[in-house]
Amino acid sequence: MEKVYVVGGGATKIDEHWDLSLRDLMVQASERAINDAGIEKRDIEAIYVGNMSSGPLQGQEHLGSLISTWLGIPGVSAYKVEAACASGGVALHSAFTSVASGLYDCVLVVGVEKMSDAITSDLTSALIMADDQEYVAFTGASFVGLNALVYRAYMERYHVKQEDIALFAVHDHKYGVNNPYAQFRKEIKLETILSSPLVADPIRLFECAPVGDGAAALILCNEKKVRTLKHGSLIELAGSAVATDALSINYREDILTLKATRVAFEKALKMARIERKDVDLIEVHDAFTILGVIHLEDLGYARKGEGWRLVKEGEIEIDGKIPTNTMGGLKARGHPVGATGIYQVLEVLMQLRGEAGKNQVSEAEIGLAQNVGGLGGTVTVNLLRKVR
């Protein structure tokens, strides 16, 4: 297996982009990544597009050919990868395997989603496609409703107060302030979160990742191609893994454990030949505050029922035990579904390059990005390592 390097990255700011189409967002992010990598468009041999809902929301599929056309490189291998909210992470894994196998020297992976111009009912219907249509969605369950069941079960089993879980959103907004790509660059108080409207009891509005539009892109190359480029920093994609669980929580032994996270992390660690303690910072998929807490536990950084303690005690701050969501997470940066996994890796890349500004984690050398599809039906874990 060949070594794979992330040599370029670019993104659009996450926002309500009324003046930009799905293709505009993809092209902008891709061109920024290409320029950052210092390559030519003709160097790209394949394109992987992470997206969940362009069909139901924009009436647009066939995204591979769409982006190759508008980037001006027809003939290149290109296709869409879909895995609900993990579409970006799975697209990155697909790109990784194509370079690691020796098939390609240089590829582009781009995640994109345009959500803000959809009416709420259509967006809700699109998001619940991440779960079982025959046995879950037909009951009228929504994605936020399923997360509310998990939230309530967590509080009751572990006797945890909502204010301790909601602190995750306070943490995210603190760091989103300094992220140029973030949708909400504003700090928020716990009192504001707890007084915001209920969406699905007990989840409050300000505990939910927002709706937005955005695209992020990365360039992956092998060692042969890297030698032709001029880069001060060299970042390896040292481990990449995907794992699945039962699609719906009603089929699982424990709805408060995402087994796919544990499996994917162990696979990625083994591939990268590192241990959990070697990781300097992590990006977790906190579509809701409760998920951020549970992910800290399933990744092994806290015992079950105690992930909230890491937040409350400051252990996930940039100078804490395990710096987490150092650029705002899904809550403040935003969550344009199919693009989220790529934004996460881009943010890890910024940290390892020393480009995170006021949010910089000191001497960061290894970073982790966890991207989740549905309520843990699919999980990707990608590990980046600074080589120089």
Q: From the candidates 17, 85, 171, 285, which is the catalytic residue?
A: 85
Of 93, 285, 295, 335, the active-site residue reads 335
Handedness of CA 250, 373, 352, 324 (dihedral sign): negative
> Tokens in use for 142?
């929504």
Question: With contact defined as beta carbons under 8 Å apart, do 175 and 327 qualify?
Answer: yes
Residue 326 neighbours by CB distance under 10 Å: 27
User: Is 285 among the residues known to form the active site?
Assistant: no
Q: What angle do CA 284, 382, 252 make, to 5 degrees?
A: 60
Q: How far is CA 274 from the centre of its chain?
A: 22
Q: Cα separation of 206 and 6, whole Å?
A: 34
Question: Could you give the count of Cα atoms lying within 13 Å of 142 in the half-sphere of its Cβ?
Answer: 13
Question: What are the distances in angstroms from CA 205 to CA 20, 104, 188?
Answer: 27, 44, 13
Residue 341: phi, psi to the nearest 5?
Answer: -60, -30
C-alpha 2, offset from chain centre: 25
Based on the residue annotation, tell me whether 85 is a catalytic residue of this protein. yes
Give the three-class secondary structure for 160: coil
Q: Which residues are catalytic?
A: 85, 335
